[in-house]
């Protein structure tokens, strides 16, 4: 009977040890994997919006048109 109780006592701990996602664990810089992915996507968007050298001379960003 005590063996049965020991198994019942340890079962929740064993099952819960397998729960959890590695995405929620903090990585380098103290951010989760999901947060790091969001930051990478945001940085990529910013890089895409930066002026190219020839556009900087004209003073216009890509996709922006002035009314003349």
pLDDT per position as a tens digit, 25-66: 666 678 888 888 999 999 998 888 886 666 666 666 555 555
**pTM beyond 0.95, yes or no:** no
Q: Inform me whether the pLDDT recorded for 68 exceeds 60.
A: no
Residue with tokens 């664990």: 25
Residue with the larger pLDDT of the pair 21 and 1: 1
Domain that holds residue 39: 30-57
Determine the pLDDT at residue 18.
Answer: 67
Residue with the larger pLDDT of the pair 67 and 27: 27
Say how many C-beta atoms besides its own lie within 10 A of residue 41's C-beta.
10
Is 51 part of a structural domain of the chain? yes
Is 8 part of a structural domain of the chain? no
Is 4 part of a structural domain of the chain? no
Is 11 part of a structural domain of the chain? no
Write down the H helix ranges in 1-68.
Answer: 2-17, 33-49, 53-58
């Amino acid at each position: 009977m005590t063996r049965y109780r020991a198994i019942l006592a340890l079962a929740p701990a064993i099952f819960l040890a397998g729960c959890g996602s590695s995405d929620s664990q903090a990585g380098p810089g103290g951010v989760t994997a999901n947060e790091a992915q969001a930051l990478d996507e945001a940085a990529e968007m910013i890089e895409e919006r930066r002026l190219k050298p020839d556009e900087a001379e004209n003073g216009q960003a890509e996709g922006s048109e002035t009314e003349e």
